[in-house]
Amino acid sequence: DIQMTQSPSTLSASVGDRVTITCRASQSISSWLAWYQQKPGKAPKLLIYKASSLDSGVPSRFSGSGSGTEFTLTISSLQPDDFATYSCQQYNSYSWTFGQGTKVEIK
Amino acid sequence: EVQLVESGGGLVQPGGSLRLSCAASGFTFSSYWMSWVRQAPGKGLEWVANIKQDGSEKYYVDSVKGRFTISRDNAKNSLYLQMNSLRAEDTAVYYCARVPRRASIFHGMDVWGQGTTVTVSS
């Protein structure tokens, strides 16, 4: 199975900061990667699919990049609504896996 | 409004069974792959199972193979997860999710239900 490792596990940042989260796959997954945002007690929300495609309605301050085994999610200017947990997910095959999540908290 | 609503969660003893349901509305259910994803208390997300539009293909995470069965009824716009031989480690919030696929390429899971809680305990 493909393992997904996110770093950091927790990130402290301030409103307006540029934030970058990394996700590494244990083997190449081409561009078959999605990013989700989740707030406490709520369902995940799709932000990005195919590594860099923004889902409908997602603010342009979110961006994704990477291919193969290394991927990044960047928030260009952190907003109050962005404090949440972010998870990557690979869908290279029919057996999907998530990263362990990165919590973005207020500094 | 596009919506998924899960039901069927609850408290069950180890070794017991439970059937989760997910009612879809606001979109053409039969056109989409569907998934179940779970989240144990305080843990990350874990993909559980996928099912193709017509039910002809099903895929599972190794930890539930042989115990869980995903199914769907397109006439009822409903997705199901039959869970047998439940273990304490199956305790989680279970979400159903829509999986768009265009030109044979998946596009993540774009619509999620609110989740239903399954607790396996004696």
| pLDDT for residue B105 is more than 90 | no
| pLDDT for residue B104 is more than 90 | no
Average pLDDT over residues A11-18: 96
Radius of gyration of chain A measured on its C-alpha atoms: 13
**Overall size of chain B counted in residues:** 122
**Closest alpha carbon within chain B to A57:** B110
* pLDDT value of position A27: 96
Give the pLDDT band of residue B103 (cuts 50, 70, 90).
confident
Q: Is B114 on the interface with A (CB under 8 A)?
A: yes
Nearest to B47 among A49, A96, A101 (CB): A96
* pLDDT value of position B101: 87
Q: In whole angstroms, give the CA distance from residue B57 to residue B51.
A: 6
Whether residues A43 and B46 touch (CB distance < 8 A) is answered with: no
Beta strands in chain B (DSSP E): 3-7, 10-12, 18-25, 33-39, 45-51, 58-60, 68-73, 78-83, 92-99, 101-102, 105-106, 111-112, 116-120
* pLDDT value of position B102: 82
- Note the pLDDT tens digit of each residue in B7-52: 999 999 999 999 999 999 999 999 999 999 999 999 999 999 999 9
Which positions in chain A touch B95 (Cβ < 8 Å)? 43-44
Which positions in chain A touch B105 (Cβ < 8 Å)? 50
Average pLDDT over residues B61-87: 98
- Note the pLDDT tens digit of each residue in A35-93: 999 999 999 999 999 999 999 999 999 999 999 999 999 999 999 999 999 999 999 98
Q: Are B22 and B78 in contact (CB under 8 A)?
A: yes
* pLDDT value of position A94: 84
Whether residues A91 and B114 touch (CB distance < 8 A) is answered with: no
* pLDDT value of position B89: 98
Nearest to A87 among B44, B112, B115 (CB): B44
